[in-house]
């Protein structure tokens, strides 16, 4: 079971992150990492960066590059080019690449189908550079034979295949290294390139620690691999998987570091036939090398050094995804071949809110309720005397001298004249608005207004201080808006955007742009609730992580506006990816289905199974002539090209547009294991990284690895 998630909230004064503290008890998760586990942990791992390159070019000017083969230094140069050794190859073969798919099971199924259907060899190769599984069919000795084979596929309805070349069986292997006008031959399949300066090696726009390995694969092309220590590898993974700028909570980043380390060690050697352990794309974990390293994620990795997740003394499959849509899913629904008891669907929310009362009557409008905190209320009757008095009061608060002037009426022309007079804006209007601006900025201005009146109207509009139709009388709402904007412009009111952290002893705890702050919540606080575009006075129900606007006067909290998250109370509600819609026309779906199931056709979709989160685990594709195909797990997502499988599907047949399907969903990713934005939400609410991991991976232990040897 997951640990208790309630009652954990305090502030880390040093960095501003929220740290979890136990109130009255210690959880098992707090001490799990104190136990160590002896595992065969390698000192270095190999990360596949690119697959099937015809050549590798490493640029100059970053210091010396040291190329080694079979333990011997081949060259020490500023730049180099590596190619497969052409002298020792047997003749090339030609193949048909039928598809490049996201889902491994669909790719293998397509290869099997095409191989049986056309009586040709077919296989699947993962491309580490593009994160797709390439499906290749046939082996032809000449391009003409390949063209004929391509024609057979086209005749059968598979029109997207193209011709590629691979090498046949090896007699021996070597790599060619071009250094200026000289070419060196390095026997064997491997070449190691090191940085002579220690500043890393650049490849395809990124810089990498450790060594670059060049591997001549079975297809006679080059795989590029980064070999480096596991902990240094994680420095290029954690910030790519969970950006510290967006998810700047140390406890969430520590949870991500432990999950990423566990995933890495669990999946070492998955691509050994291609010469590497793990890929650098979302198929495994996104890896960006030195270019993405960040002090906060470096800290998260260092503070959890060696910690991993285990179940019964075995490393777990530490799956994670971006946004879970309020509930994660059982692993076997999304990955039918996996059956891990610790990967159970769990809720991604926490009950309980903090309440702040408002002195304003329920439904009071913004900004009039805020203005009532600053100056005498306007009363029920709007007159020139009342408006003039409020403008004068605002000028006094701003420290401006009050001129011997009075507001004569509430005519728009007179009000803007008085504003310019009392706040000394006439010169601003003359300097910052040219006559040429007037016909562009002002729509059908009154004919009897002078150029000075029009210039002032244009300036107030540009400044956001007073807008509206110049031919219409001013309304009470417009006047309140002008008073509010003037208060902000004159720095009478300071507006800050903040994220709510908690309420402690009458102090509002918030996170500003780069620091924590606290403000006393007095009896005269004007609190507003914003839902959509409507902002009205209301008592507030707050959850840590909520966004709000703070309004300060003389450094005292005057009012606050709470932005209500319409996604509800889930941990992942702040994600921009928490909800989505996608429309797929019948034609689009038919093309996607045909890529995976040639000849099936497309007539519709039938949902067969949903999991505990509501995700679709199984659907039936209805084809032509009564044919059908059942699609399971993650393949549902790739077949429909949707962000997640937590969706509803509606059939739309508009009279003047193409018919199709509207998919409305939540979540982003596969939804199994740790929810990354949920981890961030938990960290904001005061939970430790152990709490986060224990919540999303049911019943696991957090232990520290002790390398054998």
500 belongs to a structural domain: no
Q: How far apart are CA 241 and CA 287, in angstroms?
A: 8
176 DSSP assignment: E
pTM over cut 0.85? no
167, 193, 227 — which closes off a domain? 167
pLDDT at 708: 59
CATH number for position 106: 3.30.70.1070
Q: How far apart are CA 121 and CA 204, in angstroms?
A: 33
DSSP β-bridge partners for residue 174: 187
Strand runs labelled E in 102-160: 122-127, 132-140
Q: What is the count of structural domains for the chain?
A: 2
Between 584 and 515, name the one with better pLDDT: 584
488 belongs to a structural domain: no
| Pairing between β-strand 540-542 and β-strand 354-356 as defined by DSSP bridges | antiparallel
Q: Is 99 helix (H, G, I), strand (E, B) or coil?
A: strand
Model pLDDT for residues 243-292, shown as the tens digit of each residue: 898 888 999 999 999 999 999 999 988 888 899 999 998 889 999 999 99
3-state helix, strand, coil in the chain (%, to 5): 30, 30, 40
pLDDT at 35: 67
617 belongs to a structural domain: yes
Q: How far apart are CA 556 and CA 487, in angstroms?
A: 15
Q: Is 256 helix (H, G, I), strand (E, B) or coil?
A: helix
- The mean pLDDT value for 663-686 works out to 92
Cis bond before residue 622 (omega within 30° of 0): no
Question: Between vectors from CA 605 to CA 603 and to CA 609, what angle results, nearest 5°?
Answer: 155
Structural domain of residue 151, as residue ranges?
A: 90-167
654 belongs to a structural domain: yes
600 belongs to a structural domain: yes
Sheet holding 211-216: strands in order across?
72-77, 65-69, 190-195, 211-216, 222-229, 44-53, 278-279
150, 167, 184 — which closes off a domain? 167
- Sequence-distant (6+) residues with CB within 8 A of 25 are none
104, 137, 167 — which closes off a domain? 167
584 belongs to a structural domain: yes
Q: How far apart are CA 35 and CA 573, in angstroms?
A: 35
Main-chain dihedrals φ then ψ at residue 454, nearest 5 degrees: -65, -40
- On the question of pLDDT at 71 being above 80, the answer is no
532 belongs to a structural domain: no
pLDDT band at 4 (very low <50, low <70, confident <90, very high): very low
pLDDT at 330: 97
Q: Which of 12-26, 89-103, 499-513 has the highest mean pLDDT?
A: 499-513
599 belongs to a structural domain: yes
């Amino acid at each position: 079971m997951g640990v208790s998630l309630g009652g954990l909230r305090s502030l880390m004064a040093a960095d501003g992150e929220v740290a979890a503290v136990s109130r009255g008890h210690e959880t098992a998760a707090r001490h799990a990492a104190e136990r160590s586990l002896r595992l065969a942990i390698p000192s270095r791992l190999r990360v596949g960066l690119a697959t099937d390159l015809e050549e590798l070019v490493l640029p100059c000017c970053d210091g010396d590059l040291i190329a080694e083969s079979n333990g011997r230094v081949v060259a020490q140069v500023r730049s180099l080019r590596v190619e497969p050794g052409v002298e020792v190859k047997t003749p090339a073969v030609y193949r048909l690449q039928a598809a490049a798919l996201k889902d491994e099971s669909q790719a293998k199924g397509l290869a099997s189908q095409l191989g049986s259907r056309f009586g040709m060899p077919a296989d699947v190769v993962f491309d580490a550079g593009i994160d797709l599984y390439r499906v290749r069919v046939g082996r032809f000795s000449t391009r003409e034979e390949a063209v004929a084979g391509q024609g057979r596929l086209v005749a059968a309805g598979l029109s997207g295949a193209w011709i590629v070349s691979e090498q046949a069986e090896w007699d021996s292997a070597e790599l060619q290294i071009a250094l200026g006008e000289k070419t060196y031959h390095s026997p064997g399949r491997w070449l190691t390139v090191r940085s002579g300066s220690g500043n890393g090696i650049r490849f395809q726009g990124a810089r990498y620690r450790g060594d670059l390995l060049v591997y001549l694969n079975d297809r006679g092309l080059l795989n590029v691999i980064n070999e480096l220590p596991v902990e240094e590898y994680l420095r290029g993974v954690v910030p790519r998987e969970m950006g510290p700028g967006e998810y700047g909570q140390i406890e969430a980043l520590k949870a991500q570091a432990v999950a990423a380390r566990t995933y890495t060690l669990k999946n070492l050697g998955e691509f050994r036939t291609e010469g590497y352990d793990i890929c650098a794309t979302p198929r495994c974990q996104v890896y960006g090398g030195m270019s993405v390293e960040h002090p906060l994620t470096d800290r998260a990795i260092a503070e959890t050094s060696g910690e991993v997740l285990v179940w019964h003394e075995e490393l777990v499959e530490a799956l994670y995804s971006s946004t879970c849509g309020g509930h994660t899913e059982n692993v076997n629904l999304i990955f039918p071949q996996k059956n891990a008891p610790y990967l159970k669907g769990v809720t991604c929310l926490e009950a309980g809110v903090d309440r702040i009362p408002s002195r304003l009557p329920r439904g009071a409008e913004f900004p009039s309720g805020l203005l009532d905190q600053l100056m005498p209320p306007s009363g029920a009757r709007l007159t020139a005397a009342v408006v003039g008095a409020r403008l004068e009061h605002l000028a006094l608060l701003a420290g401006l001298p009050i001129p011997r002037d009075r507001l004569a009426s509430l005519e728009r022309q007179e009000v803007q004249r008085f504003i310019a007079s009392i706040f000394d804006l006439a010169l601003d209007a003359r300097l910052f608005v040219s006559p040429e601006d007037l016909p562009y900025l002002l729509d059908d201005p009154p004919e009897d207004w002078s150029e000075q009146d029009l210039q002032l109207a244009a300036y107030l509009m540009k400044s956001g201080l007073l807008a509206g139709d110049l031919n219409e009388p001013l309304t009470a709402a417009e006047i309140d808006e002008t008073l509010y904007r003037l208060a902000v412009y004159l720095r009478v009111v300071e507006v800050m955007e903040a994220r709510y952290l908690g309420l402690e002893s009458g102090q509002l705890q918030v996170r500003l742009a780069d620091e924590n702050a606290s403000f006393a919540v007095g009896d005269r606080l004007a609190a507003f609730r914003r839902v959509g575009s409507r902002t009205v006075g209301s008592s507030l129900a707050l959850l840590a992580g909520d966004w709000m606007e703070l309004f300060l006067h003389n450094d005292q909290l005057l009012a606050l506006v709470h932005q209500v998250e319409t996604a509800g109370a889930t941990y992942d509600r702040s994600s921009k990816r928490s909800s989505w819609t996608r429309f797929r026309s019948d034609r689009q779906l038919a093309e996607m289905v045909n890529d995976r199931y040639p000849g099936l056709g497309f007539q519709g979709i039938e949902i067969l199974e949903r999991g505990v989160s509501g995700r679709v685990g199984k659907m039936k594709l209805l084809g032509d002539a009564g044919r059908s195909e059942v699609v399971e797990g993650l393949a549902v997502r790739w077949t429909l090209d949707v962000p997640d499988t937590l969706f509803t599907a509606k059939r739309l047949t508009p009279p003047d547009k193409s018919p199709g399907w509207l998919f409305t969903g939540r979540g982003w990713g596969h939804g199994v294991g740790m929810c990354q934005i949920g981890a961030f939400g938990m960290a904001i609410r005061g939970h430790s990284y152990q709490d986060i991991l224990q919540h999303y991976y049911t019943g696991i232990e957090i232990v520290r690895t002790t390398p054998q040897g």
